[in-house]
Structure 1
Amino acid sequence: IMRLNLSEEDFESEHQRQMRKRNKMKDQQAPHPNGID
């Protein structure tokens, strides 16, 4: 997240969205890891 004008609340919810996305990708167990982590 590069935008510096996010309020703390926006930053938190954006962080939650990113974590959910990552967890979803982890759950799919893709055969080809794409370099996240």
Structure 2
Amino acid sequence: MVASEIHAASDPTLGWCDSQTEFAFTLDLLLDGLERLKDS
């Protein structure tokens, strides 16, 4: 599973995969969506 998360640093299309940043971004999106759903 770790191998699929780590992209080659020399690959210009993907580069290094920062899983912590991606997780935080996705969590923020989910929480914002739930907040909007709750308010509507």
Q: Which range, TM-score by smaller chain?
A: 0.5 to 0.7
More helix by share: 2
Measured on the aligned residues, the alpha-carbon RMSD in Å equals 1.6
Aligned residues: 26
Instruction: Determine what percentage of the aligned residue pairs are the same residue.
Output: 4
**Structure with more contact order per residue of length (Cα contacts < 8 Å, sep ≥ 6):** 2
- Listed as ranges, the gaps of 5+ residues in structure 1 are 30-37
TM-score w.r.t. structure 2 length? Answer: 0.54
Runs of 4+ deviating beyond 6 Å: none
- Listed as ranges, the gaps of 5+ residues in structure 2 are 1-13
TM-score w.r.t. structure 1 length? Answer: 0.58
